[in-house]
């Protein structure tokens, strides 16, 4: 767990993402990241769009910039609303990051807006399979997935006691309308995909969530059973970055 002051939170998260991008691109030539919605990461996205993180043609490691031309952007979940709806996770990322950087259009893998959530989820799973080219239905291996956590312990659009938590075959699914706002249908990555990521970065703000995080990190049995965020166990690394209020 990393406690970061409110002043340094966005910078620390942006540097974490930059470092992950550099390592992945150096290792295999590209970087895959799934972004999260909500308000907490907005300042991080705005900072990533600033000149110091813009794509550069300079040799790797000679600047702090993220090589956007070798970065593929995905989403971990989405609300089933139009792309121009203020509740859209795509819109928040587009307005604060994508619209301000030079990144090839083919590197932006947005969740399709389809009024049928089940079909939208199916189409996005097809997109993931096309990009990652895995075999035998093995889940994709994201380099980094950004996640948040709600006050009920949910993450992405995986909510407590949801049947979605037991999905082991599909990569991307529709979920029931949650009891929290916005109360709209959603689609989300499943736990097998999230847990096959190389690295997970939880971005947490709000003092009311620290108690839940403490329980999760300390392996509290009740937390492991009741909080979807506690069920996140990536292949290599999980980092909890918490903004001190």
User: Per residue in 124-145, pLDDT tens?
Assistant: 999 999 999 988 889 999 999 9
Number of domains forming the structure of the chain: 1
Average of pLDDT values for 215-230? 91
- What confidence score (pLDDT) does residue 165 get? 95
- Percent of the chain that is helix, strand, coil (3-state, to 5): 40, 20, 45
Q: Which CATH number covers residue 182?
A: 3.40.50.1360
- 182 vs 90, which has greater pLDDT? 90
Confidence of residue 176 (pLDDT cuts 50, 70, 90): confident
| Alpha helical stretches, state H, the chain | 9-28, 42-48, 89-96, 117-132, 191-194, 210-217, 221-226
Residue 57 pLDDT greater than 70, yes or no: no
Q: Which residue has the tokens 């992950």?
A: 20
- What confidence score (pLDDT) does residue 54 get? 59
Task: Report whether 203 contacts 41 (CB < 8 A).
Answer: yes
CA pair distance 109, 98, nearest whole angstrom? 12
Residue 182 pLDDT greater than 80, yes or no: no
Residue 123 pLDDT greater than 80, yes or no: yes
Confidence of residue 62 (pLDDT cuts 50, 70, 90): very low
pTM over 0.75: yes
Confidence of residue 192 (pLDDT cuts 50, 70, 90): very high
CA pair distance 165, 104, nearest whole angstrom? 34
Domain boundaries, position 198: 2-244
């Amino acid at each position: 767990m990393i406690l970061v002051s409110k002043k340094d939170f966005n910078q620390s998260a942006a540097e974490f993402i930059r470092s992950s991008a550099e390592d992945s691109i150096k290792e295999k030539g590209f970087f895959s990241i799934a972004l999260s919605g909500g308000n907490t990461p907005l300042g991080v996205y705005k900072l990533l769009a600033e000149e110091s993180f813009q794509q550069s043609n300079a040799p790797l490691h000679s600047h702090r910039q993220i090589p956007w031309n070798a970065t593929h952007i995905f989403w971990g979940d989405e609300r089933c609303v139009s792309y121009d709806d203020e509740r859209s996770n795509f819109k928040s990322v587009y307005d604060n990051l994508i619209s301000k950087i030079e990144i090839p259009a083919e590197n932006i893998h947005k969740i399709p807006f389809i009024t049928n959530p089940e079909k939208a989820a199916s189409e996005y799973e097809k997109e993931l399979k096309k990009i990652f080219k895995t075999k035998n239905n093995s889940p994709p291996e994201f380099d980094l997935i950004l996640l948040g956590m709600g006050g009920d312990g949910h993450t992405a659009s995986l909510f407590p006691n949801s049947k979605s938590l037991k999905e082991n075959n599909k990569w991307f699914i529709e979920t029931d309308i949650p009891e929290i706002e916005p109360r709209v249908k959603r689609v989300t990555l499943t736990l097998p995909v999230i847990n096959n990521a190389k690295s997970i970065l939880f971005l947490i703000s709000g003092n009311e969530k620290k108690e839940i995080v403490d329980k999760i990190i300390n392996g509290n049995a009740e937390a492991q059973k009741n909080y979807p965020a506690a069920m996140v166990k990536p292949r290599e690394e999980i980092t909890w970055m918490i903004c001190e209020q």
